[in-house]
Amino acid sequence: MASPYPDGDREKVASKLPPSLQKQLKIRCAELDLDIQDATTAAVSNWRASARPVPAIDTSGARSFSTWLPSGLYDDFKATCNERDVPFTQGLAQSIQAWLDDNPSPKQAESSCPRRIIVCNQKGGVGKTTISAGVAEAHAEEEGVGAKCLQAFVESLTAAELARLNRTREQLLSVIADSTAGGQRVLLVDYDPQLHLSNQLGISPIPIGEESLVSHMTGEAEGDIRDLLVTIDDPRFAGRLKVLPGTRDGFLLDSKLAITAVNSRGFQKEAALERALHPLEADFDVIVIDSPPSLGLAMDAALYFARRRPTERSGRSGVLIPVQSEDSSADAYQMLVDQIEDLEADLRLEIDSLGIVVNLFDSRRGFIATSSLEEWHSLEDQHVIAVVDDLKEQRETVRLKKPLLAYVPESKQANVMRLIAAGAGK
């Protein structure tokens, strides 16, 4: 169905298109800075002109799709569909899929480079482990399942909850629509020698003296780092979520890196984490690092690992910073920012911020909590991507040693973790 465009040179076309193609089209147009109507015009015109065979597209569940096309093009398109004996919805789906194939995402240049999310803050107790595990689980759960839960959650947010985030419902729904979280191969690294992540997930830490991430970082390991990985055995993640357990040897990592740098010519201590994890990069789409509360050499190595690589777009990898609504958290945040800026200047690199997560928020604390939240929102060159209430679900998962998104997948806290995964870097 078509109706005239106000200026007369185009007509509005109402048809149907599978949701997955609609989402891909929207994202690709944003990446290439194109208007959807121009992309659809090119897609339809190219499909009509092309003689190459196009595989049939599964159009079950196709939803309403409308755009503006040059006057007469839709009639010509329908005539071509009739000539090729394909339904109009199928013809449009083939057109869009062919256009997507011919106009690849700039992100394809990043395909050999996993996204790297470093969850860090030199202050302890702000929830780094909780956020690390939740973000990793959100990326690894079945594609589409979490998105449905998250959309329903965002649509149910109250005006007060939206005000806390300083975003409109429409803005959050747009973030969700552009998210790639779900169905990804995820490596979750326990980089903190306190071992909270390993213990919370019921995974045995690596004993002191055995091969570990630490020995691979210092060049002392002889085995394959893949042999250290533990798969989270839960059907929700279908083998996609793996953990590199921690070790208390990590308490000695800074001194080990310093000694190795002195004794080994050409050893760059800042690159130690990247060098250790390099054999794993091709096996994962996302790597999440649960960092220690430290500003030493180990943290430098994590920040270096997070740097923007030459093939990456801004905001794809970087640091995700959990904080609390109180003054000491702000002091620790500034110390981390100073370290990042010093490392960027010293090594001439760029480390992107993926956002701030205000954790363990409790409005009953009154002015202390609300005024601090306002200050987090007011930071320049930063944005709050989620506010996590102080809820019981996380404490229950720790006691049960289960992943949050497997234990209570539809809970508020699980959906906030999905929101963090969707919004990091946006």
The reported pTM is: 0.75
Co-location of 67 and 184 in the same domain: no
Rounded Cα gap, residues 2 and 23, in angstroms: 22
Say if residue 233's pLDDT is above 60.
yes
Co-location of 124 and 86 in the same domain: no
Q: What is the extent of the structural domain holding 380?
A: 112-423
Co-location of 170 and 319 in the same domain: yes
Co-location of 263 and 286 in the same domain: yes
Co-location of 155 and 277 in the same domain: yes
Q: Of 88, 104, 120, which one is at a domain's C-terminal end?
A: 104
| Overall domain count for the chain | 2
Co-location of 87 and 124 in the same domain: no
% of the chain surpassing 70 pLDDT: 93
Task: Give the DSSP H or E segment for 413.
Answer: helix 412-423
pLDDT of residue 275: 94
Q: Which candidate, 148, 249, 109, places its Cα nearest to that of 190?
A: 249
Q: Which candidate, 78, 67, 79, 77, places its Cα nearest to that of 10?
A: 67
How is the beta sheet containing 241-244 ordered, strand by strand? 230-231, 241-244, 186-190, 286-290, 115-119, 318-323, 353-361, 384-389
pLDDT tens across 375-409, in order?
888 888 888 999 988 888 888 998 999 999 999 99
Say if residue 64's pLDDT is above 60.
yes
Task: Give the DSSP H or E segment for 188.
Answer: strand 186-190
Q: Of 104, 121, 142, which one is at a domain's C-terminal end?
A: 104
Co-location of 15 and 153 in the same domain: no
pLDDT of residue 55: 78
Q: 115 with 286: CB under 8 angstroms?
A: yes
61: number of Cβ within 10 Å = 9
**Confidence class of residue 351 from pLDDT cuts 50, 70 and 90?**
very high
| Residue 118, domain CATH | 3.40.50.300
**Confidence class of residue 364 from pLDDT cuts 50, 70 and 90?**
low
Co-location of 90 and 165 in the same domain: no
- Stretch 149-178: mean pLDDT: 91
Q: Of 104, 135, 154, which one is at a domain's C-terminal end?
A: 104
Co-location of 78 and 132 in the same domain: no
Co-location of 233 and 211 in the same domain: yes
Co-location of 156 and 263 in the same domain: yes
Co-location of 85 and 199 in the same domain: no
pLDDT of residue 56: 86
